[in-house]
Structure 1
Amino acid sequence: MRSLLFLLAVVLACVSVSHAKDLIVGTSFNNRLLHQVKEEYNAIPLKKRVKEFFFSDPGQQVIKGVIARDLDHTDASASITAGGVGFSYVNIRMKSERGSGLNYQIEIYA
């Protein structure tokens, strides 16, 4: 009985993690936060919203982690289109689901 409950807890944890549309690349563990910003874009009925975010470190520090969290928990997506981990710059493209806005918190670690 105990092992069945443990298995059920693991399955539920995996399902809840796999449903998230957050972008997590690299690691934030023991790294310094370089930049943190909240990106918002209002919804337009029947339209998908697309927003580009660009960050370049003036100190040319190498990026070790990028996190883009969907604060509204929608089916929006975020992807890195240029740079990222191992570079000193990153370009993130965020795309909303149809009829919804964007609400992301972006964190860059070095």
Structure 2
Amino acid sequence: MEAVKRQGTALRLTVFVGESDQWRHKPVFTEIVHRAHAAGLAGATVLRGVEGFGASNRVHTTRLLSLSEDLPVAVIIVDEQDKIREFLPQLDELITEGLVILDPVEVIRYLGRPPSAP
């Protein structure tokens, strides 16, 4: 049996912050993920960059000779447009410096396969 496949449109929220950005002694990216979960969003993924620069115009990198403690981090959340837009005010409280991007996306979701018969 094949996996069930659903297709449709959604909104992708990508939040770029620094790895060392804090909110109440916790990483901002962690707080974003926990709030997204509490808001019932479909899911969140945190990706750690190996190199990048932002508003400070300072390059952050993982290269051995120039170790950085503030690498770029991207939090990616995809869900229905209304749910993402309802979540945006949460970011106003958490982000003091960063970038938020909203992209309309086409989603193909695979819902798993039923267990195979013995």
Do both share a fold (TM > 0.5)?
no
Query: What TM-score do the two structures reach when normalised by structure 1?
Result: 0.35
Work out which structure has the larger RCO, using CA pairs closer than 8 Å and 6 or more positions apart in sequence. Answer: 2
Rg larger in structure: 2
Scaled by the length of structure 2, the TM-score of the pair is 0.34
